[in-house]
Amino acid sequence: MTGHDSSAGEVSRRGFLRAATGGAAAAGTVAATSGSAAAQAATVTVGPGGDLVFEPATVYVAPGETVTWEWDSNNHNIVVNSQPEDANWEGTEGPETQTYDEGHTYEYTFETTGEYEYVCFPHAPGMAGKVVVNEDGASPTPEPVSGPPEIPDSAKTLGIATVFGMLSTLGLAYFFMKYGGDYETPDE
């Protein structure tokens, strides 16, 4: 007995290749998945639940990122209304009247910064969307509002009507108390 267990330290060529191939395949899958996830920036649902909208209506992406539109209802398309001067986005393939149905997917990678406005031609102008391409691909944060909260006009109107009603009631009560007459029936 030499103290060396030969079965524990040796690996066959076939076992080594099998392990190496499995590891390479797993690494390739992770790299491919993370690469496509990094390039995939936003997904827009076209006609969710049959509604005539793009959901979300506005998406923010960085240059080089891809937006995917997924059809959730029938008879929709994407027609570009406006875009930056250097851009060449044409929307979905075909003429403005060509529409696509549920299950269709369309992708476009935006390279030029700026705002891209689009509509669904059969449902324009109500079914509209926008892609904003900026350097960080993030939505601008609104500036904090200072001061007291704003009171809606309907609440102001209700408050004025309530004060007017109370003053009218008090005025009538004063009038009846000061100038009220004798309400007894006269004896005849």
* Residues 88 and 132: beta-carbon distance below 8 Å: no
pTM: 0.55
* C-alpha atoms less than 13 angstroms from C-alpha of 50 in its C-beta half-sphere: 0
What pLDDT is attached to residue 151?
Answer: 84
Q: What is the pLDDT of residues 40-60, one digit of tens each?
A: 689 999 999 989 999 999 999
Confidence of residue 23 (pLDDT cuts 50, 70, 90): low
Buried-exposed string 18-35: b where 16+ CB fall within 10 A, e elsewhere = eeeeeeeeeeeeeeeeee
Confidence of residue 35 (pLDDT cuts 50, 70, 90): very low
Residue 147 has pLDDT above 80, yes or no: no
What pLDDT is attached to residue 180?
Answer: 78
Confidence of residue 33 (pLDDT cuts 50, 70, 90): very low
* Residues 130 and 117: beta-carbon distance below 8 Å: yes
Confidence of residue 75 (pLDDT cuts 50, 70, 90): very high
In a 10 Å sphere around its CB, with 0-12 CB exposed, 13-18 middle and 19+ buried, how is residue 109 labelled?
middle
Strand residues in 72-184 grouped as ranges (E): 79-82, 105-110, 114-119, 128-133
Residue 29 has pLDDT above 50, yes or no: no
- For 93, the token pair is 């393939």
3 state DSSP class of 119: strand
Mean pLDDT of 131-152: 81
Q: What is the pLDDT of residues 93-134, one digit of tens each?
A: 989 889 999 999 999 999 999 999 999 999 988 899 999 999
Residue among 58, 56, 37 at smallest CA distance from 46: 56
